[in-house]
Structure 1
């Protein structure tokens, strides 16, 4: 069966349509609390696991001279928190892949194509909604880290820069995950495809310094997208000097991922489903 595609009429309002789709995405997050709890629950579980199970030993490795035990856990909490925040961002992006697949397979997306709706809003609204959810998840995880003893030292400008970076990373990964969701044959597949994003922090500087890795793994860790993002996040949280080259790499990676995800999503959205 071929889906009839009608171009948006003059009545389509890109901004208003995007806000409508944003509201729809946020309402869906409320109606499907399982997705929302997954976004926040996994990073919280990882934070507690790595701090209280591995932190006593790993802390001595990431902060030379620190003793094992409670001192090690405190040191490892400081080191690992930036990576866990990015897990919250990736978790939110995974949820938008699932919702995109639900729309694509349920028939609602072909229906949107026949309506006077701005095509960009159908995809852009959920992406913006995911950015909002990611910022909320990051705030919750950061709050828990503070309860455990984490003390960020970012000033006002550093805090604003951190929010901007988190929003940019969420924006980029959300577009990529929307494309993955539209390309998936089923909702179940859409929930699994973005899992590759969760592996990247492990293969970067999120959990251990890249200097401790074997040569081949270290090379990959140094040049993959999440390492400069994690290092920039860590510097902003601690209030230390931000490396300009590392920050530039983080921003460029985000822009490349966002551009790829946007182009792929728009191409899939235009494709007719039989």
Structure 2
């Protein structure tokens, strides 16, 4: 009698009920690519995320600029605020995309696969971060064309893009959590639109001390003001003061809160506890 021996190897069957494992970050890479492909197909959203801040910058510099600052230096003041406004417009689409995934049934299909539940959100967040950094670069280039003249050193430019990336990451995680909390993509868009008003109640377009007294504490102590003031100081090669610490602290706090909230919402809605 001949005994046939099967060697155990990488292709050996797993135990009954055990799901095959995939490598570290493999799922995240797949979902990042998925989000990028969706972005490429949705050209209109990409264009609007860039064109709206650019149009606002042209409006404030060419129409309102001389009335606010007759010397013509208003463009140097307003560009940091437009940069964050651009990031907000771009990140707001994340709320709609996440809500669409949660309401169209695609998450139910993902639940049958051996992937980490957070990989879906990671894909949305990372793709949004890259998209918005590109849009930020476009906005800065347009600002240079209309008279923006920063005096930042190369190291300060690196710090600017680092802070902008941190802010984009924070607000994208927040929009992703809003998309999970919303019942429909339309509701997610509406909730996200409220956050887009925050730059207007800050030092983005006018100094805080020109606002009514009752509004100044809100403008001074909300998260966006220290971020804008830090970017403005870096671009002007001016002293940072303690605004930089507040800017980084606010961004990190938002990321932590939004990530925890988003993970809880995703586990609750996708059935993974």
Fold equivalence (TM over 0.5) = yes
Does the CA-based 8 Å contact 1:13-1:118 persist in structure 2? no
Match status 1:226 vs 2:201 = no
Question: 2: CA distance between counterparts of 1:155 and 1:30?
Answer: 34
Contact 2:22 2:114 in 1 (8 A): yes
Task: Tell me what 1:176 maps to.
Answer: 174
Equivalent position to 1:23, from 19, 33, 40 = 33
Matches within 5 A, 1:81-92: 81-92=79-90
Q: What is the number of equivalent residue pairs in this alignment?
A: 255
User: What are the ranges of 5 or more consecutive residues in structure 2 without an aligned counterpart?
Assistant: 1-16
Work out which of the residue numbers 91, 94, 105 in structure 2 matches 1:93.
Answer: 91
Q: Contact conserved, 1:94 with 1:177, CA < 8 A, in 2? A: yes
Q: Say if 1:9 and 1:159 are closer, same or farther in 2 by CA, change over 3 A.
A: farther
Of 154-163 and 134-143, the range deviating more from structure 2:
154-163
1:77 is matched with which residue? 75
How far apart, CA to CA, are the structure 1 residues paired with 2:199 and 2:267?
33
What's the CA shift for 1:120? 2.0
Whether 2:165 is the aligned partner of 1:167: answer yes
Q: Match of 2:121, SS?
A: helix
- When Rg is computed on C-alpha atoms for both structures, the one with the higher figure is 2
Structure 1 Cα separation of the partners of residues 108 and 153 of structure 2: 47
Q: How far, CA to CA, are the matches of 2:112 and 2:149 in structure 1?
A: 52
Answering whether residue 273 of structure 2 is matched by residue 263 of structure 1, we say no
Does the residue aligned with 1:150 lie in a helix, a strand or coil? coil
Give the match's secondary structure for 1:13. coil
Deviation at 1:196, TM superposition (A): 2.2
Task: Provide the secondary structure at the position in 2 that maps to 1:21.
Answer: helix
Deviation track 1:28-73 (CA, whole Å, cap 9, x = no partner) reads 11101122112111101110111111111011xxxxxxxx2xx3xx
Q: Distance in 1 between the 2:189 and 2:155 partners?
A: 36
Cross-structure match for 1:252: 249
Name the residue aligned to 2:126: 128
Task: List 4+ stretches of structure 1 deviating above 2 A.
Answer: 7-10
- Residue 123 of structure 1 contacts residue 178 of structure 1 at CA under 8 Å; is this kept in 2? yes
In structure 1, the gaps of 5 or more residues are 1-6, 60-67
Matches within 5 A, 1:43-82: 43-59=53-69, 68=70, 71=71, 74-82=72-80
RMSD between superposed Cα atoms in Å: 1.7
Secondary structure of the equivalent of 1:216?
A: coil
TM-score if structure 1 supplies the norm length? 0.89
TM-score, scaled to structure 2: 0.89
Structure 1 distance, partners of 2:85, 2:151, is 21
- Structure with bigger helix share is 1
**CA–CA distance in structure 2, aligned partners of residues 12 and 273 of structure 1:** 20
